[in-house]
Chain A
Amino acid sequence: MIENNLVHVGIADMKIDNSPKKLKTVLGSCVGICFYEPKQKIGSMAHIMLPKKHNVVKNNYKFADTAIPEMIKYFKKKSIRIDELQAKIFGGAQIFFSNSNSVIPDIGNMNIEMVRKILKKYKIPIISEEVGGTKGRTIIFDLEDGKVLCKQFAGSEKIY
């Protein structure tokens, strides 16, 4: 039953849908941004990989600073104003066990900071979040009630 309604959001991807659909993605240092409009039960999820867009790349969903305006644009098309939106954000972990000489920079933290900055710019409140840490996460966004089930890799699960 759940599987029939499940919509997978890929890497550098964005989906917008209505209840009874559920949007799902798997995150590491990427950040999952969920927008919800409770009256019409419309929700959107973006899976961004990097904080800031560079000129030549066409896929806007890859970057925090371009994915969020794209999401807003889709809600506007459905006559939903920015001030009706609420955001929940997840991910941005540093999943490589590393020491000070690591070859892997903390891209997760950079993604989180940029997402917060862009949401603040558009005055969209973050009503829940589970970000940072060292574990990957699976998130399932239920468009019936706007709740997000966040399962940590080899760890706890919690509903936001």
Chain B
Amino acid sequence: MGIFDFFTKKKKTKQNDDINLDHYMKVASIQTINKLEELFNYPVNFNDFNKITVGVNELPMLIGKEDEKAICVIINVNQSISGKMIFMVSEESGKSIYGLLEEDMNKFFDKDGVLTERAQSCLQSVASIFISSFVSSISNFLGEKILVSIPSISHSFKYSIINEIVFDKIIDSENLHFYSAKFSIDQESVEGLFLFMPDDFKYFEFIEEIK
């Protein structure tokens, strides 16, 4: 082995990848907070990421009661990391976010209690800013491209939303593996959940089972 090989061939193990990505995730979350604080003009709390493995039946317990109403935005990412990034807030928190950015609160729901197109667009934009700033930080750290899909939004019961988040992750598995973090804006009673469900395990190894 030549002397320069020692310096150039740094052994890259899966464990290293994991540790690095965990670190990148934390730094990316700080950059994402900064972006959101600029947008809302309020302090934003964003808890550190947890790697979580749960059984399919246990996921609802993690995200709340079955009848609770939620608004969920999904954005697919692919290339150097791939999977689903999910932004989920309660109906009340969605309304508060809308109130921070739009003036006319009466246009949040239509006459049937469904999100108006304006409200959908507003929340999709916030989720896109949130997820894009997170993804762009990770992409900078990795020095690799990450492609981002257009957002899809749903307003329904939490249980109703779950299947469309997880269906492709549970075809061959009893368990779901994902990153989870909570975010909040205390002054406006906004609370939400950010989930990242990776498609492959290039950078991810889940060893802890949380019940």
Name A residues whose Cβ lies closer than 8 Å to a Cβ of B: 8, 10-13, 25-30, 49-50, 54, 56-59, 62, 93, 95-99, 101-104, 107, 135-138, 153-155
Contact = CB atoms under 8 A, between A and B. Distances in A.
Contacts of B96: none
B152 to A, nearest CB: 4
Contact of A54 (B76, B149, B163, B171): B171
26 contacts: A8-B66, A10-B57, A11-B56, A11-B59, A12-B57, A13-B57, A25-B66, A26-B157, A28-B162, A49-B163, A49-B170, A57-B171, A62-B56, A96-B153, A96-B164, A97-B115, A98-B152, A102-B150, A102-B152, A103-B74, A107-B163, A136-B159, A136-B161, A137-B160, A138-B67, A154-B155
Chain A interface SS verdict (over half): loop
A11 B153 CA distance: 21
B112 A154 contact: yes
B41 to A, nearest CB: 28
Contacts, number: 119
A97 B153 contact: yes
A30 B112 CA distance: 23
A76 B114 CA distance: 43
Interface string B137-173: 0000000000001101111111111111011001111
B56 A12 contact: yes
Interface in B114-143: 114-115, 120
Interface residues of B, number: 39
Interface in B60-86: 60, 66-67, 69, 74-76, 84
B120 to A, nearest CB: 6
A28 to B, nearest CB: 3
A101 to B, nearest CB: 6
Nearest to A28: B160
B113 interface: yes
Contacts of A11: 56-57, 59-60, 159, 162-163
B174 interface: yes
Nearest to A111: B163
Contacts of B84: 103
A92 to B, nearest CB: 10
Given A10-B60, A57-B173, A103-B150, A29 B163 contact: yes
Contacts of B173: 56-57
